Structure 1
Amino acid sequence: MRLVQISDCHLHADPGARSRAGFPMRQLESVVAAVRAERPDMVIVSGDISQDETAASYQHAHRILSTLECPWFWLGGNHDQQELMRDIKAIHDDIDLANWRLVVADTCVKGHAHGELGEERIGELIGRLEQDERPTLLVMHHPPLTVGSAWLDEIGLRDRDALWQALAPFPQVKAILCGHIHQAFAGRQRLEHGEVMVYGCPSTTDQFLGGSDGFAIDEASRPGYRVFDLSGEAWLTWVERVDL
C-alpha cells in the first residue's frame, strides 16, 4: 500500500495569485503531476488547502486533486473553512488502508493559528481507536511535538501532553502525520509500549526555514510531498521535492 501526503497548498480564488515565494496553484499542479508518477493507492491532503478561505479556492483544489488516479481525502487546517470544504467533498474521520487504518483528528481552533483537540475530541479519538486494532496512522494538521522553531512551536498543538496520554493504551498507533510546518520533519515520542513516530511534510507552496526563531521562508527549498509504503506492520517513508 502506497500512501502519499500532500499539505499546505494555500490556494486563492485568483488562479494567478502569488505567495511570498511563488505561485501556489501552479506549484500544486506540479506537485500533483509528480505524485501521479508515484502511482499511489491513496493520497491524503493534511490541511491549509486555502489561503483566502473562499469557495473558489476549494473548487480549484478539487479540480487539481481530482486528476489523481487514486482516491484522495482532505482535512482542514487553521486557514480553512471546513464548511466550504464539505460542500465540495466530505472530510472523513476514518480511512481504510487495507491492512492499515488512517484516522483523522481535527486539531483546528476556529479563529486561531494554534491547534487544540480538547477533551471532547480526545474522547472521540479514544473511542475510534478502541474499535480497531489494525496498525494505524493518525493524521492531523498541527504537530504534536515541538519542531525547533520558536514561532512554529508557539502555534503547534497546545494539548499535546493530553494527546500522548490518550494514545498510551494503543500500541497500534505507529505514526502521526502532520502538516502546518511547511517542512520535512521526523521526530518520535516514547510511550510505555514503544515509540510513535511523527512526520512533517513539505508544503506544495512556500517552505518554512527550519530552526528559525521568527517567521522565515526557506527560499532555497522546493515544494514537495511525503511517501509512505506500508507492508505488514512496517513502513518506509521519505520526502520527494519537485522541480518547478
Structure 2
Amino acid sequence: MRLVQVTDTHLHADPGARSRTGFPLRQLHTVLEHARTKRPDVLLVTGDVSQDETLKSYEHAQQAFASMGCPWFWLPGNHDQPELMAEHRELNVEVDLGHWRLLLLDTRVNGQPHGELGQAKLKALAEQLEGDDRPTMLVMHHPPVAIGSEWMDAIGLHDREALWQTLAAYGQVRAILCGHIHQAFASRESLAEGEVAVFGCPSTTDQFLGGSPHFAVDEASRPGYRVVDFHGGELTTWIERVDL
C-alpha cells in the first residue's frame, strides 16, 4: 500500500495567480505529474488547499487531485473554508487502508493561523482508538510538535500536550502526518506505549526556511511531496522534490 501526501497548495480562483516564488496551480500539476510515476494507491491532501478561500480555487484543486487516478482525501488548513471544500468533496474523518487506518483530524481554528483540537475532538479521538487496535496514522494540518522555527512554533498546534496525553494510552498510533510548515521534517515522540513518528511535508508551492526565527521563504528549495509505503505494521517514508 502506497500513499502520497501533498500539502499547502494555496490555490486561487485565478489559475494564473502568482505566489511569492511561483505559480501555485502550475506547480501543483507539475508535482502531481511527478507523483503519478510513483503509482500511489491513495492521495492525501493535508490542508491549505486554497489561498483566497474561493469555491473556484477548490474546483481547480478537485480537478487536479482527480487526475491522479486513485482515491483521494483532504482536510482543511487555516486558510481553508471547510463548507466550500465539502461542496466538491466529502471531508472524511477516517480512511480504511486494510491493515492500517488513517484518522483525519481537523485542527483549524476559525480566523486564526494556529491550530487546536479541543476537548471534544480529543475525546472523540480516544473513542476511535478504543474501538480499533489496528496500526494507525493520524493526519492533521498543524504540526503537533515544535519544529525549531520560533515563528512557526507559535502557530502550530496549541494544545499539543493534551494530544500527546491522549495518545499515551494507545500504542497502535505509529505516525502523524502534518502540513502547514512548508518543509520536510521528521521527529519522534516517546510515549509509554511506544514511539510515534511525526512527519512534515514540503509545499507544492513556496517553501519555508527551516530553523528561521522569523518568517522566511527558502528560495533554494524545490516543491515536493511525501511518499509513505505501508508494510504490515511498519512504514517507510521519504520526500520527493520536483524540478519546475
Same fold (TM over 0.5): yes
Distance (whole Å) between structure 1 residues aligned to residue 195 and residue 64 of structure 2: 36
Is 2:147 aligned against 1:147? yes
User: 1:19 — aligned with what?
Assistant: 19
TM score, norm. by length of structure 2 = 0.99
Q: Secondary structure at the match of 2:52?
A: coil
The alignment-based identity, stated in percent, is 62
The equivalences for 1:89-108 within 5 A come to 89-108=89-108
Residue 144 of structure 1 aligns with an amino acid whose one-letter code is P
Q: How far is 1:130 from its partner?
A: 1.2
Distance (whole Å) between structure 1 residues aligned to residue 71 and residue 95 of structure 2: 10
User: 1:198 — aligned with what?
Assistant: 198
Q: How far is 1:194 from its partner?
A: 1.4
Distance (whole Å) between structure 1 residues aligned to residue 209 and residue 242 of structure 2: 17
Q: How far is 1:220 from its partner?
A: 0.4
Task: Give the aligned CA root-mean-square deviation in angstroms.
Answer: 0.5
Distance (whole Å) between structure 1 residues aligned to residue 188 and residue 90 of structure 2: 31
The equivalences for 1:109-188 within 5 A come to 109-188=109-188
Gaps of 5+ in 2: none
Q: Number of aligned pairs?
A: 244
Q: How far is 1:195 from its partner?
A: 0.9
TM score, norm. by length of structure 1 = 0.99
User: 2:49 — aligned with what?
Assistant: 49
Distance (whole Å) between structure 2 residues aligned to residue 174 and residue 105 of structure 1: 15
Gaps of 5+ in 1: none
Q: How far is 1:128 from its partner?
A: 1.0
Q: Secondary structure at the match of 2:63?
A: helix
Q: Secondary structure at the match of 1:15?
A: coil
Distance (whole Å) between structure 1 residues aligned to residue 108 and residue 203 of structure 2: 18
Distance (whole Å) between structure 2 residues aligned to residue 111 and residue 52 of structure 1: 13
Q: How far is 1:230 from its partner?
A: 0.3
Q: How far is 1:35 from its partner?
A: 1.0
Structure 1 residues 123-173: Cα deviation after superposition (integer angstroms, max 9, x where no partner): 111111111111000000000000000000000000000000000111000
